[in-house]
Chains A and B, each alone.
Chain A
Amino acid sequence: MDFSFPKEYRLLRRVVREICETEIKPIAKKIDREHGVPSELVKKLASLGLMGVPFPQEYGGMGAGEIGYCIVAEELGRVCSSTTTVVGAHIGIAAMSIHLDGTEEQKRKYLVPLAQGRHIGAFGLTEAAAGSDAAAIKTTAVRDGNEYVINGTKVFITNGDIADTIVIMAVTDASLGAYGGITAFIVETDSPGYSIGSLENKMGIRGSTTAECVLQDVHVPKENVLGRFGAGFLTFMKSLDIGRASLGAGCLGGAQVAMEASIQWAKAREQFGVPVATKQAVHFMISEMFVEIEALRSLVYRTAWLIDTHQPHIMEAAACKLFGSETAGRCSNKALQIHGALGYSRDCEIERGWRDQRITEIYEGTNEIQRIVIASNLFRPYGVKVST
C-alpha cells in the first residue's frame, strides 16, 4: 500500500494549480456574474491537454486516467465550479461515453477533437418528465434508410449551447423499455434541426450554461449509433458511474478551499478582543470540515484507482458523488457561518461557493438516486429488489 502520488501526477497537479491560481481564480467572480466561461479559457485548458485528461494519448488525450482527471477536477473545484462543470460535462460524460463505447472510427472522428479540446462535448439525457427516471425519455429516433431521424427536447443540458458534439439518448423501440429500447447517438450540433431553446437562470454555477436542446427531424447517419443498438441505457449508466468519481473530486476541492478560507478569516477577524480563531465553536466546525474532507479524499482517489485498474466501482463512485456533494454542502455552509455577514455578501467567494455547491447534490443523479444505486447493489446478492 502506497498512498503517495507518483511524480507525474504531482507534476500535473502543479501545472493545474498554477493555471487555476493565475488564470481562473482572478476571473471566477466575473464568470459567475456574467454567466459564461470565456472561450479563451477553454482554449488555454485545451492547450495544456486538460480537456482530455483521462483519455489515451492515441485519441488526443493526456493518458492520465481517472486519477489524473480527479486531480484536475479537484484543482478546478478549488477556484471555479462553473469551469469544473463545463469541463466535467465535456470530459466526464460526453467524451467518456464515446471513449467507453465508441467504435474506432467514432473515436477518431469525435473523441480526438473532444480530447484535444478543439470541440466541446455535451450529453443529452434529461427531459422535462425524465430526470431521476431517465428511462422515461420521450425523444425518438426512427430509421430512415441509412439514417436515423431524431425528434425530442432535452432539458438541463450542460454545455448544450456551446457543444460541437452531443450524445443524445433516444427511444428506438418503446416496446422494449429501458434495456433494449433506448439507443445513444452521436449528434453534430450544426446538424439541421438542432436548436437551443431557453437557457436556465440558476442559483449557482452561473458560468456554466444549462440549455434546452430541441431536436426537430435531426438526421444522423447510422454510423453514429454509439455502442450497441438498443443499449443506450448501459452506455449512459457506465459514463455516469465514472463521472461520479470526478464529481466527488470537484466537491473535494470546493470543500478544501472553504476550510482554508475559514481558517484565514477566523485568524483575521477579531471579536470580543480576540480573533474568532480562538473560539471553540469555530475549532469544532473546522475540525469537522477536516475530517470529512480527508474521508472524501480517500474515497475519491481510491475509487479513481478502482476505475483505472478496471475493478468494480459502481457503489464507490455513487458514494463519491453522494458523500462528496454533501460534504461540500456542510463545509460551505459552515464556512459561510464562520464568515458571518461577510459570507452572505456576493463580494465574498464563500457566498459563490455556497450557491455553486448546492447543485452537486442534484445533478448527475440526485443524491436520492445515489442512495438507491448503493442500496440496490447491496441487496442484490440477497435477491431483494430495490425499487426506485
Chain B
Amino acid sequence: MDLRLSEDQLMFKRMFSDFCAKEIRPRGEHIDQAEEPPVELLNKAVDQGFWAALVPESMDGCGLDVYTYTLMLEELARADMSTAVTLAAHNSLVVKPLLDHGTDDQRARFVPGLAMGETLGAFALTEPGAGSDAAALRTTAVRDGDFYRLTGTKVWVGNGGLAGLFLVLARADRGITAFLIERDTPGLTVGYREKTLGLRGVSFTTLYLDGARVPVGQRLGDEGKGLDLAQHALDYSRLGLGAMALGACERSLEEAVLFSMDHIQFSVPIAQKQIIQNYIANAKASIEAIRGLVTQTAWLADSGQDFSQLASITKLFSGHTAYEVTNKLLQVHGGYGYMKEYAIERYYRDCRALEIVGGTSQIQQYLVARDIYRAEGLEIRP
C-alpha cells in the first residue's frame, strides 16, 4: 500500500490547484450573487483539461485515472462549489457514460465537442414524480422507424441552461433507455430555472420533451439498459460528490482557522479558546475521514473492482459530514459567518445540497442496507 501520488498525479494536482486558486477562487462570491454559471471561466478551464478529465489521451483528453479525477474535483470545490458541480456533472454524468457505453461512432461524434469545451453535458433523470424512486420515471421513447419520439418532463437537470448535449433517461419498449439529445432538437425545450438555496451558479432547469425526434443512432447502450447505465454513472457522480465535499470542508476549515486567528475577543484570538480548538480539530478529523473514503473508493474504481457500495457510503458520509463541518465552522465566524462577504456563508448553503443531489442520503442508506441484506439472502424494499 502506497498512497503517495505519482509524478503524473502530482503534476495534474498542481496544475488544477494553480488554476483554481488563481482564476476560480476570486470569483466564488460573484458567481453566487450573480446566480449565473460562470461561462467565461468555464471556457477558460477548457485548456487546462477540466472538460476532458476522463477522456483518454488517444482522444486528446487528459486521460486521468479516477483518483486523479477526484483530486481535480477536490481542488475545484475548494475554489468554488458551483463551478465544481457544473464540471462534475459534465464529466461524471455525460462524458463518462458516453466513453463507457457509447459506440465508436457516438464517441467520434460527441466526445470532441464535449472535451474541447464546445458542448457542455447535462444529465436528465429526475422527474416531478420520480426523485429518489428514479425507476418510476414516465418520460416515454416511442420507436418511429429510424427514430425515437421522446415525450415527458425532467426536473432538476443540472447544467440544463447551458448544455449542448443531454443524456436523457426514458421508457422505451424494452424498458428504461438512455439517449443523447442535442439542444437544438425540435421538441426539446429548456424551461424553468430553479432558484436554489446554494449552488447558485449551477443552472438547474426543467426540460420539456414534446415528441422530440431522436435518431436511433443516438440511443446510448441497448434498450432497457438505461438504469444500469445511470447507476454506473451515478457511482462516479457519488464518488465525485465526496471529493467535492472534501474540498468544500478543507476550504471552510482554512477560512475558519484564519478567522479564528484574526478575531480577538476577551483580549485573545478566539483560536486560544478551547471550544474553538475543538471545533477545528473535529472538522479536521472529519476531513481526513472523508479523504480516506474518497481515496479508497477511487482505488477500487481504478483497480477495476466494484465500487458502487463504497461510492454510496462516500456520498452518504461526506454529504452529512460536510453539513456538520460547515455548520460548526460557520459558528466559529460568529455573526460574520451569516454575512455574504464571508465564504463560509456560501459554503454552508452549497454543502447542504450534498445530502440531496445525486441521490438523497436516505437512498444511499437504502442501497447500502440492500447490499448487506442481499448478501445474506434477504431482499429489502426501499
Known contacts A341-B356, A355-B197: A200-B337 contact under CB 8 Å: no
Q: Indicate if A131 sits at the interface (CB-CB under 8 A).
A: yes
Q: Indicate if A367 sits at the interface (CB-CB under 8 A).
A: yes
Query: Could you say which residues of chain B place their CB within 8 Å of the CB of A202?
Result: 338-340
Interface size class, chain B: 35 or more
A341 vs B197: C-alpha distance in the bound complex, in angstroms? Answer: 10
- Do A203 and B196 touch across chains, with their CB atoms under 8 A apart? no
Contact string, A169-197, partner B, CB cutoff 8 A, digits 1/0?
Answer: 00000000000000000000000000000
- Do B196 and A340 touch across chains, with their CB atoms under 8 A apart? no
A158 vs B381: C-alpha distance in the bound complex, in angstroms? Answer: 51
> What is the chain A residue whose CB lies nearest that of B361?
A337
CB-contact partner of B349 in A132, A329, A355, under 8 A: A355
Query: Could you say which residues of chain B place their CB within 8 Å of the CB of A204?
Result: 338
Query: Could you say which residues of chain A place their CB within 8 Å of the CB of B198?
Result: 344
A371 vs B273: C-alpha distance in the bound complex, in angstroms? Answer: 13
Central interface residue in B197, B360, B361, by most chain A CB within 10 Å: B197
Q: Indicate if B103 sits at the interface (CB-CB under 8 A).
A: no
- Do B340 and A201 touch across chains, with their CB atoms under 8 A apart? yes
Query: Could you say which residues of chain A place their CB within 8 Å of the CB of B330?
Result: 358
Interface size class, chain A: 35 or more
- Residues of chain A having any CB pair with chain B under 8 Å: 126, 129-133, 136, 156, 200-204, 270-273, 279, 281, 329, 333, 336-337, 340-341, 343-347, 351, 354-355, 358-359, 361-363, 366-368, 371, 387-388
Central interface residue in A337, A341, A351, A359, by most chain B CB within 10 Å: A341
Can you list 8 residue pairs at the A/B interface with Cβ under 8 Å?
A: A203-B345, A203-B348, A204-B338, A337-B360, A340-B132, A341-B126, A346-B196, A358-B348
Q: Indicate if B9 sits at the interface (CB-CB under 8 A).
A: no
- Do B131 and A341 touch across chains, with their CB atoms under 8 A apart? yes
Central interface residue in B335, B341, B349, by most chain A CB within 10 Å: B335
A256 to chain B, nearest CB (A): 21
CB-contact partner of A359 in B131, B323, B338, under 8 A: B338
CB-contact partner of A340 in B131, B194, B264, B334, under 8 A: B131
Query: Could you say which residues of chain A place their CB within 8 Å of the CB of B217?
Result: none
Tell me the interface secondary structure of chain B in the complex: mixed
- Known contacts A354-B352, A358-B338; 11 additional CB pairs below 8 A are A201-B339, A203-B338, A340-B132, A341-B357, A344-B356, A345-B195, A345-B196, A346-B197, A362-B335, A363-B335, A387-B266
- Do B133 and A362 touch across chains, with their CB atoms under 8 A apart? no
B366-382 CB contacts (< 8 Å) to partner A: 381-382
Contact string, B188-213, partner A, CB cutoff 8 A, digits 1/0?
Answer: 00000011111000000000000000
A248 vs B377: C-alpha distance in the bound complex, in angstroms? Answer: 50
- Do B133 and A271 touch across chains, with their CB atoms under 8 A apart? yes
> What is the chain A residue whose CB lies nearest that of B346?
A203
Query: Could you say which residues of chain A place their CB within 8 Å of the CB of B265?
Result: 130-133, 136, 388
CB-contact partner of B197 in A129, A340, A351, under 8 A: A351
A305 to chain B, nearest CB (A): 31
Q: Indicate if B353 sits at the interface (CB-CB under 8 A).
A: yes
CB-contact partner of A129 in B264, B327, B348, B361, under 8 A: B264
B155-210 CB contacts (< 8 Å) to partner A: 155-156, 194-198
CB-contact partner of B156 in A341, A347, A368, A388, under 8 A: A341
A270 vs B337: C-alpha distance in the bound complex, in angstroms? Answer: 37
A355 to chain B, nearest CB (A): 7
A18 to chain B, nearest CB (A): 30
Query: Could you say which residues of chain A place their CB within 8 Å of the CB of B267?
Result: 133, 136
Query: Could you say which residues of chain B place their CB within 8 Å of the CB of A200?
Result: 339
Q: Indicate if B56 sits at the interface (CB-CB under 8 A).
A: no
A216 vs B362: C-alpha distance in the bound complex, in angstroms? Answer: 56
- Do B194 and A345 touch across chains, with their CB atoms under 8 A apart? yes
Query: Could you say which residues of chain A place their CB within 8 Å of the CB of B264?
Result: 129
CB-contact partner of B136 in A272, A346, A351, A358, under 8 A: A272
- Do B353 and A344 touch across chains, with their CB atoms under 8 A apart? yes
A371 vs B126: C-alpha distance in the bound complex, in angstroms? Answer: 44
A100 vs B129: C-alpha distance in the bound complex, in angstroms? Answer: 56
Q: Indicate if B275 sits at the interface (CB-CB under 8 A).
A: yes
> What is the chain B residue whose CB lies nearest that of A279?
B362
Known contacts A272-B382, A281-B362: A344-B335 contact under CB 8 Å: no
- Do A346 and B195 touch across chains, with their CB atoms under 8 A apart? yes
A204 vs B131: C-alpha distance in the bound complex, in angstroms? Answer: 28
Central interface residue in B126, B266, B341, by most chain A CB within 10 Å: B266
- Do A281 and B337 touch across chains, with their CB atoms under 8 A apart? no
Query: Could you say which residues of chain B place their CB within 8 Å of the CB of A366?
Result: 331, 334
A66 vs B323: C-alpha distance in the bound complex, in angstroms? Answer: 35
- Do A344 and B131 touch across chains, with their CB atoms under 8 A apart? no
- Do A337 and B340 touch across chains, with their CB atoms under 8 A apart? no
Known contacts A203-B345, A343-B356, A368-B275: A354-B197 contact under CB 8 Å: yes
Known contacts A341-B131, A345-B195, A345-B197: A271-B136 contact under CB 8 Å: yes
B205 to chain A, nearest CB (A): 12
- Do B353 and A156 touch across chains, with their CB atoms under 8 A apart? no
Query: Could you say which residues of chain A place their CB within 8 Å of the CB of B338?
Result: 202-204, 358-359, 362
Q: Indicate if B365 sits at the interface (CB-CB under 8 A).
A: yes
Q: Indicate if B80 sits at the interface (CB-CB under 8 A).
A: no
- Do A347 and B195 touch across chains, with their CB atoms under 8 A apart? yes
A350 to chain B, nearest CB (A): 10
B329 to chain A, nearest CB (A): 13
Q: Indicate if B250 sits at the interface (CB-CB under 8 A).
A: no
B133 to chain A, nearest CB (A): 4
- Do B340 and A203 touch across chains, with their CB atoms under 8 A apart? yes
- Do A272 and B356 touch across chains, with their CB atoms under 8 A apart? no
> What is the chain B residue whose CB lies nearest that of A269?
B131
B237 to chain A, nearest CB (A): 15
A346 vs B200: C-alpha distance in the bound complex, in angstroms? Answer: 11
- Do B266 and A272 touch across chains, with their CB atoms under 8 A apart? no
A206 to chain B, nearest CB (A): 10
Q: Indicate if B75 sits at the interface (CB-CB under 8 A).
A: no
CB-contact partner of A337 in B156, B345, B356, B357, under 8 A: B356
A131 to chain B, nearest CB (A): 5
Query: Could you say which residues of chain A place their CB within 8 Å of the CB of B74?
Result: none
- Do B352 and A336 touch across chains, with their CB atoms under 8 A apart? yes
Query: Could you say which residues of chain A place their CB within 8 Å of the CB of B126?
Result: 341
> What is the chain A residue whose CB lies nearest that of B196?
A344
A136 vs B194: C-alpha distance in the bound complex, in angstroms? Answer: 45
B81 to chain A, nearest CB (A): 13
Q: Indicate if B355 sits at the interface (CB-CB under 8 A).
A: yes
A202 vs B33: C-alpha distance in the bound complex, in angstroms? Answer: 12
A272 vs B381: C-alpha distance in the bound complex, in angstroms? Answer: 9
Query: Could you say which residues of chain B place their CB within 8 Å of the CB of A132?
Result: 265-266, 334
- Do A126 and B335 touch across chains, with their CB atoms under 8 A apart? yes
Query: Could you say which residues of chain A place their CB within 8 Å of the CB of B353?
Result: 344
Query: Could you say which residues of chain A place their CB within 8 Å of the CB of B355?
Result: 337
Query: Could you say which residues of chain A place their CB within 8 Å of the CB of B133?
Result: 271-273
- Do B195 and A362 touch across chains, with their CB atoms under 8 A apart? no
B45 to chain A, nearest CB (A): 25
